[in-house]
């Protein structure tokens, strides 16, 4: 089995209204050196297979078909073998 850890981020060319709102709030709190805030998603799940290549394929398909919007977001992942 493998534990997948996926980080989903908006593409740099895509406006991030949530990040902008958080950054505006930070400025109101006196955090004047904070810039270019981007908000993403972190997802963890188990892939129940013993074959790394099968796990990689399944993670990629899961991300591409369900977890991300391919027009707006990119992702990266790691796999950690669970004994």
Which domains, ranges and CATH numbers included, belong to the chain?
2-81 (3.30.1280.10)
pLDDT, tens digit, for every residue of 42-52?
999 999 999 99
In the numeric block, the tokens 């980080």 are attached to 7
Mean pLDDT throughout 2-10?
A: 97
Radius of gyration of the chain (CA): 16
- The residue length of the chain stands at 83
13 class by beta-carbon count within 10 Å (0-12 exposed, 13-18 middle, 19+ buried): exposed
Q: What is the pLDDT of residue 12?
A: 93
Q: How far apart are CA 31 and CA 20, in angstroms?
A: 14
Residue 83 pLDDT level (bands cut at 50, 70, 90)? confident
59 and 36 Cβ atoms separated by less than 8 Å: no
pLDDT, tens digit, for every residue of 15-74?
999 999 999 999 999 999 999 999 999 999 999 999 999 999 999 999 999 999 999 999
């Amino acid at each position: 089995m493998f534990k997948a850890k996926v980080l989903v981020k908006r593409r740099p060319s895509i406006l991030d209204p949530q990040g902008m709102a958080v950054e505006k709030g930070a400025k109101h709190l006196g955090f004047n050196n904070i810039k270019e805030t981007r908000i993403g998603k972190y997802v963890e799940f188990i892939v129940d297979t013993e074959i790394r290549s099968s796990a990689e394929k399944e993670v990629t398909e899961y991300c591409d078909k369900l977890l991300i919007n391919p027009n707006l977001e990119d992702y990266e992942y790691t796999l950690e073998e669970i004994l």
